[in-house]
């Protein structure tokens, strides 16, 4: 149980850092063309954070 709690906490911190490092230019470009929030998330945020998320999850 201690290992799982530590893993969840560590992955949460690393996921938050990965989300902070995305390029805001892509998100801003989507918003300026009239994309809604779900479209912005699906096309601007998820493609940028998916590789670090997968890598961190597999590593842990």
Predicted local distance difference test score (pLDDT) of residue 2: 86
Write down the domain spans for the chain: 2-59
Contact 56, 15 (CB under 8 A): yes
Nearest to 51 by CA among 11, 15, 9: 15
Residue 16 vs residue 4, higher pLDDT: 16
- What DSSP string describes the chain? -HHHHHHHHHHHHHHHHHHHTS-HHHHHHHHHTT--HHHHIIIIIHHHHHHHHHHHHHH-
Predicted local distance difference test score (pLDDT) of residue 36: 95
The predicted-structure confidence for 12-60, as pLDDT tens digits, reads as follows 999 999 999 999 999 999 999 999 999 999 999 999 999 999 999 998 8
Predicted local distance difference test score (pLDDT) of residue 60: 84
């Amino acid at each position: 149980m201690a290992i799982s709690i530590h893993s969840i906490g560590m992955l949460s911190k690393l996921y938050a850092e990965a989300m902070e490092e995305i390029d805001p230019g892509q998100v801003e470009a989507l918003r300026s063309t009239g994309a809604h929030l779900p479209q912005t998330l699906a096309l601007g945020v998820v493609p940028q954070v998916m590789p670090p998320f997968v890598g961190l999850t597999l590593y842990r």
